[in-house]
Amino acid sequence: MISPLLKEEREDSDPPVSDRSTRGRYSLLYRFILREFAQNFAVAFSFFFCIFFINSILLLVQRILLKNIDMMTMLEMVALSMPQFLIYTFPFASLAASSMVLGDLGSSNELLAIRSSGIASGRVYRPLIVASIFLSFVTFFFADVVLPWSSVVYEDRLSVLMQEMPTFEIESNSVNTVGNIVLSNGEAEGNVIHDIVLISTDEDTGESRTVLSERGTLELIDSWNYIYSLQLEKPEILISDRDDLESYGLSSAESAVFFLDFSEQIPSLTSSAPVNLSSRDLISGIQDRAVMEEEDIARWHHDREAARLSFAETLKNAGRGDASVSDITTAAAEATNTIVSRGNRIPRNFYSQYYKAELTKKFVLSAACFCLTLITLPLSMFRVKHGKLTGFAISLLIAVAYWYMLFGVQLEIFNISSSPYLLIALPDIAILLIAVVLIMRFRKAR
């Protein structure tokens, strides 16, 4: 009886079998593995897509303020926002798909049958690795091309929509609610509205303001920050405190202008922030801020050295009798304050660190498809019950751990005095090292 190890050696040494039959056997295996991977990837992709959709897009729709726009426009806005989280969906879906494939093959003894037929385990892993590399390129394409493009188009489209219609959809005899502002109106003629009741609440102070007016005009005055002016005729204003119902104030005027600021209500899912820039733009931004960062570092060294030299000069004068004890004490205090205020770490430009981190993250998330798939390969060494379900559960644990590692290192980029390239890459490096160690360990144990 030939052991699996001898069979693998025979397989690796290219036995004298017809090339056509060998290629046919492998192509059949590859198609089977890729078909299973594609099916499981679709399921996993849908799962993670829904998670990010619920947490991001539904919040966007709720806060987008354009409540009465047509369905096609709303779908367009949602579609333009999707690339923001698709760059996370691809790596996690590839992780889950690979885990489910290997878990299912292991639980049904198909891996054992494949090895028993003289096919090396590497032949099973090969299509998974190739698929993960392909998905890495797809992820980078979305992160570096689709995301910057969709962000620009989204902002332009949103700006046009906000100029075409007021934030409140003005219709006769309607009530609109945006954030903490409620507007009730009677007849409406364009932007001129009648029988106005405007209620706003300050969540911090608990102050409630109710404004009544027979006639008013709503106009957009800042399309970028979405600020509107509401010009009222003969308004009456009631100000009250929700914590003290007996405390209130009532006033009236011939006319008044209220400014409605909806900038905080506009979702920031897509913007011109570094996270939505292409790698070329990020590199350009890093180069532009390199000079400023060098100047800050040079100034930091100069100030610290000047403080030390000033104190040394005072000590030298004291040795010659030209400085008193109070002069020495004052000079020491000034030098200490200067050095302490400058800190012990070399200063780094905030945006330079931010741009470097986002540039690295594009490559890190793309490579995560490969790294996370690689860490699932040792799963084929076990025979588990409910293979797909177990594989999916394991993938969720790994995905959560990777997520926390990635965002944990992002929080530390401003607390280090060096470039954040290596720091941002740590999650991928850690996953890759663990995968290699596990693969080597189980390979030796066989």
* pLDDT at 1 > cutoff 80: no
When mean pLDDT is compared over 3-7, 76-80, 176-180, 295-299, the highest value belongs to: 76-80
With tokens 């364009």, the residue in question is 190
Task: Give mean pLDDT, residues 122-144.
Answer: 92
pLDDT of residue 322: 57
Span of 47-61, 288-302, 335-349, 432-446 with lowest mean pLDDT: 335-349
When mean pLDDT is compared over 146-160, 218-232, 234-248, the highest value belongs to: 146-160
Q: Where are the domains of the chain?
A: 4-162+361-409+421-445, 174-261, 277-348
Task: Give mean pLDDT, residues 347-358.
Answer: 81
Residue 12 three-state SS: helix
Angle, in degrees to the nearest 10, between helices 350-374 and 83-107: 20
Per-residue pLDDT of 379-423, as tens digits, reads 767 666 777 888 889 899 999 999 999 989 988 887 777 778 999
Residues in the chain: 446
DSSP state of 383: -
* pLDDT at 8 > cutoff 50: no
Span of 33-42, 154-163, 199-208, 355-364 with lowest mean pLDDT: 154-163
With tokens 């000034």, the residue in question is 334
Which tokens in the block code for residue 146? 């689709």
Asked if residues 73 and 126 have their Cβ atoms less than 8 Å apart, the reply is: no
Span of 210-214, 225-229, 282-286 with lowest mean pLDDT: 225-229
Task: Give mean pLDDT, residues 81-104.
Answer: 90
Asked if residues 165 and 77 have their Cβ atoms less than 8 Å apart, the reply is: no
Helices (H), 53-81: 58-63, 71-81
* pLDDT at 229 > cutoff 90: no
pLDDT of residue 269: 42
Per-residue pLDDT of 43-71, as tens digits, reads 999 999 888 877 666 666 655 554 556 67
With tokens 């997520």, the residue in question is 403
CA dihedral 298, 301, 303, 304 (to 10 degrees): 170
Span of 100-109, 116-125, 228-237 with lowest mean pLDDT: 116-125
| Half-sphere exposure at residue 168, Cβ-oriented, CA atoms within 13 angstroms | 32
Per-residue pLDDT of 339-352, as tens digits, reads 555 556 676 777 78
What does pTM read for this prediction?
Answer: 0.66
Asked if residues 368 and 428 have their Cβ atoms less than 8 Å apart, the reply is: yes
CA-based nearest residue to 33, from 118, 132, 116 = 132
Task: Give mean pLDDT, residues 202-220.
Answer: 80
How far is 247 from 238, CA to CA, in rounded Å?
11
Helix H, strand E, coil C: the string for 219-264 is EEEECCCCEEEEEEECCEEEEEECCEEEEEEEEECCEEEEEEECCC
How far is 161 from 405, CA to CA, in rounded Å?
39
